[in-house]
Structure 1
């Protein structure tokens, strides 16, 4: 199986890979045309690879398109699991819509920037001034009810399976639980229904590589968001490698088994 990757960090433990620098994608079209799979392209490369060069990419096209924008992500989640989302409104940032949000939501509530990750662009809105400042910086209002959480769940899906899951525990008084922002980690006591829900929704949407973030409130699971290129800090600390899971999935997707001696030329 011939594999090309644009991200050596995320495919470090997958054998038989040719690496290409993202900015050299068009210089190496011949190598790419011979590849069975192209792994971890940057978002700006996706359309050229899929529609131009007719390559199969990993993560999937749906993973990229839905994971790139929280607005599109939420609309897709509404279509397959509406009972598992916090109350959310998405509206243009007009003066009338700003006032409507302020009438509909009580403080505090959460406002998000549609294209951001790792906790960046997620704001706890505690007063009118804070929301007006947020609205002035964003063309789209993405507003959710505030869920009082001391921890949330990260469920990692590769292919068709949840391969890891853990709690992200915020520091005392912290709003964000993200590991990248100092949150703690616990792999204990993860409810199996969270894994089953993430697997079902991933399959429904065609997502084959993502970290799904969920909240558990009064026995009900809620999706907060998912990240296609999620942080691996907690997994690395646990000694969990995703490369074998990725390779098993790709080998089971209709491509002949990996032949370690069949390498593509190295891109210089």
Structure 2
């Protein structure tokens, strides 16, 4: 069977994979049409591949669409899992009322840019001037309650199961729990209830490749967001190969018969 990837770094070691640069999609249309699976297209390619060319893609289209930005993710969680999402208001720059936000949230509060990752675009807002500054630079306004946390749990779901989970602990006095912002890993005592929540969410929403960020407050679980293109360093520290799980998952597709069904062993 033929596999095309648009991201070689996320498919390292997979057999029978052809890499095509995303910008060359139209020039490589014959290879794409012949492929049995398309891996890691960029978002702008997804509709053409799925609806135009009728191709199977990984991650699947619901994963891409619901994880496209924080607004899409939050709105579906508010509708389907309302008890597991922090109190959040999403509005536009021209409709926001600062007095209402202050009354509902108080300070500090959390403000986010709708497309960001690794802690970038997530701000701790402690007064009106900081809130005004955030509003001035964002057309879409995303305000969330500030939870009393110093860590979160990154839970990675690939295919049809959780493949790894670990704590990310913020540095002393720091706001962000992201490793890119100086947080550290802890692999012990991840609550099974958090893993079960992610499994339920992923299955209900048909998500098959995501890193979920979950926090625990007063024995209650909250999902902050999920990232389709999550970092793999924490999993590599656990000896987990995401690529192996992806290949095994697509190999179980009843319409997919790999030429070499054995994933290569690490040398």
CA distance in 2, matches of 1:96, 1:156: 35
CA distance in 2, matches of 1:126, 1:68: 28
Between stretches 98-107 and 171-180, larger displacement belongs to 98-107
CA distance in 1, matches of 2:84, 2:95: 30
Q: Match of 1:32?
A: 32
Following TM superposition, by how much is the alpha carbon of 1:219 offset from its aligned partner in structure 2, in angstroms?
Answer: 0.7
TM value normalised by structure 2: 0.94
- Give the aligned CA root-mean-square deviation in angstroms: 1.3
The answer to whether the 8 A contact 2:250-2:256 is kept is no
Between stretches 45-54 and 17-26, larger displacement belongs to 45-54
CA distance in 2, matches of 1:35, 1:80: 35
Between stretches 97-106 and 58-67, larger displacement belongs to 97-106
- Structure 1: runs of 5 or more not aligned: 262-268
Following TM superposition, by how much is the alpha carbon of 1:27 offset from its aligned partner in structure 2, in angstroms?
Answer: 0.7
The answer to whether the 8 A contact 1:84-1:221 is kept is yes
CA distance in 2, matches of 1:9, 1:98: 44
Q: How many residues are aligned here?
A: 261
1:14-51 Cα offsets, whole Å, 9 max, x none, are 22111111111111111111111100011111112112
Following TM superposition, by how much is the alpha carbon of 1:54 offset from its aligned partner in structure 2, in angstroms?
Answer: 1.4
CA distance in 2, matches of 1:207, 1:5: 19
TM value normalised by structure 1: 0.94
1:122-155 Cα offsets, whole Å, 9 max, x none, are 0000000000000111112111110121110000
Q: How does 1:188-227 map onto structure 2 within 5 Å? A: 188-227=188-227
1:232-259 Cα offsets, whole Å, 9 max, x none, are 1111222210112111211222233311
Q: Match of 1:244?
A: 244
The answer to whether the 8 A contact 1:4-1:32 is kept is yes
Q: Match of 1:144?
A: 144
Q: Match of 1:127?
A: 127
